[in-house]
Amino acid sequence: MFNALKEQPADKILMLMEMFKADDRPTKIDLGVGVYKNAEGVTPVMRAVKAAEKRILEEQETKAYTGLAGDPAYGDAMVSLVLGDAVARSNVAAVATPGGTGAVRQAFELIRMANPGARVFVSDPTWPNHLSILKYLGMEVVSYRYFDSETGGVDFGGMMADLKGLRAGDVVLLHGCCHNPTGANLNMTEWKAVIAAMTAAGAVPMIDIAYQGFGDGLEADAAAVRLVAASVPECLIAASCSKNFGIYRERTGLLMAVAQDSGLHAVTQGNLAFLNRQNYSFPPDHGARVVSTILTDDGLRADWMAELEDVRLSMLGLREQLAAELQRLSGSDRFAFLAQHRGMFSRLGCSGEQVEALRRDHGIYMVGDSRMNIAGLNKTTVPILAKAIIDSGI
Ligand code: PMP
């Protein structure tokens, strides 16, 4: 049987990590893999997470199964974190999932179950896993223009022109904030126009929000998701706790299905639970319990928010330093977009050869499409990167 299997393409980011490890230049800089790193290059366990874990260790009396939707306290806390009071809780069906990826996967499966002919519109570019899961599920993908490599911003005209091709029942996948891989985001006026286009066509928005708190702040980063949820008849939201709680390996996510028609709640909730049952039965609980412990305790929540804000501001500081350094070295504003971008990533917008030259000549590792993880930098390495960018003729 196994001899019938075909080789799977190697993961480009994991390959890059291997190459980085094997590079013995002491000045090498890793801007590849998408985890937050502090100035010492460490991905720390957040203080509130440690405290919540201690509390769980001491107080938890059973590890019996939770429910197919996960622990209800986690669902409630996360719905409130993401959606605030934009929609009534009774209009939100929600299940815990293994990470944001699990939520994305379950969302696609729900779409396919409800409407096998649905096409999924995705930004060009998008997180590569969106594309590979859609392909694996045999779903039709239509890409819409998103990034303008001349300006480093959103190609909004192109995006709106491509959304004109929407038909009723199509799904539009949008990044709630901190677009991965580009770092370029819609402003609120643009979000409103996108919502109007989807509504006019009868298309359903699906929002992937994996970086709430990494862009302009916890509330600001959720503003677009909340606007969409309050404006459209139905939408799907896949949320991840990996980044903003720093619990990557605990696999903690939530899938929400919002419907203005509360008569649809029970059947939607039942279908989400069914999908969990088919794919892995009960979702993981530890990370979810850490999150609900933090969000429901005033002290832990305040400490988590303070540490998350420090993380956000440190990345913003690095962006501003990098843009200023490049302005100084190039004598132009053509890199100013780096300070406008939000989240952990920025797409530099240079060619594959230039990315390769940065690696070969300077030991700087970024993904082949020129996506840089800003958190891979610190105050000392920013000028080194800026000089390498200019020296490489970018
Ligand atoms: N969506 C996007 C856009 C992401 O960048 C990520 C993390 N790389 C995820 C979803 C999901 O991450 P996880 O499964 O680790 O929670």
- pLDDT score of 72: 98
Ordered alpha helix ranges (H), the chain: 12-22, 47-59, 72-83, 99-114, 128-136, 156-163, 188-201, 218-231, 265-279, 286-295, 298-330, 337-340, 352-362, 381-391
Report the alpha-carbon distance of residue 16 to residue 326 in Å, rounded: 25
**CA distances to 110, 201, 265 from 198, in Å:** 19, 5, 22
Report the alpha-carbon distance of residue 261 to residue 229 in Å, rounded: 12
Report the alpha-carbon distance of residue 57 to residue 286 in Å, rounded: 10
What CATH code would you report for 12-45+301-391? 3.90.1150.10
* Per-domain residue ranges of the chain: 12-45+301-391, 65-296
- Which atom number of ligand 1 is nearest to the Cα of residue 127? 3
Report, as an integer, the average pLDDT of 334-360.
96
Distance 106 CA to ligand 1 centre (A): 14
Give 313's contacts (C-beta < 8 A, 6+ positions apart).
none
Query: Partners of 253 in the beta sheet?
Result: 97, 240
- pLDDT score of 11: 84
User: CATH topology of 12-45+301-391 equal to that of 65-296?
Assistant: no
Residue 288 designated active-site: no
Place of tokens 């082949």: 368
- pLDDT score of 323: 98
Residue 375 designated active-site: no
Domain at 65-296: CATH architecture:
3-Layer(aba) Sandwich (3.40)
Which pLDDT band holds residue 10 (cuts at 50, 70, 90)?
Answer: confident
Helix (H) or strand (E) holding 260: none
Instruction: Tell me phi and psi for residue 114, to 5 degrees.
Output: -75, -35
Distance 328 CA to ligand 1 centre (A): 35
DSSP state of 180: T
Report, as an integer, the average pLDDT of 145-150.
95
Check if the interface score ipTM surpasses 0.90: yes
Residue closest via CA to ligand 1's atom 8 equals 34
Report, as an integer, the average pLDDT of 362-386.
96
Residues in the chain: 394
Q: How many CA atoms lie within 13 A of 99 on its CB side?
A: 12
Report the alpha-carbon distance of residue 33 to residue 10 in Å, rounded: 15
| Helix (H), strand (E), coil (C) string for 23-59 | CCCCCCEECCCCCCCCCCCCCCCCHHHHHHHHHHHHH
Tens-digit pLDDT profile for residues 289-331:
999 999 999 999 999 999 999 999 999 999 999 999 999 999 9
Report, as an integer, the average pLDDT of 112-140.
97
- pLDDT score of 107: 98
Helix (H) or strand (E) holding 209: strand 204-209
Q: Which of 132, 76, 125, 77 lies closest to 104, judged by CA?
A: 132
- Which atom number of ligand 1 is nearest to the Cα of residue 248? 15
Residue 210 designated active-site: yes
Decide: 276 and 68 in contact? Cβ < 8 Å. yes
Q: Which of 306, 379, 342, 305 lies closest to 214, judged by CA?
A: 342
Which pLDDT band holds residue 33 (cuts at 50, 70, 90)?
Answer: confident
- C-alpha angle 363-365-368 in degrees, rounded to nearest 5: 130
Residue 127 designated active-site: yes
Report the alpha-carbon distance of residue 243 to residue 213 in Å, rounded: 9
Which pLDDT band holds residue 248 (cuts at 50, 70, 90)?
Answer: very high
Report the alpha-carbon distance of residue 30 to residue 22 in Å, rounded: 12
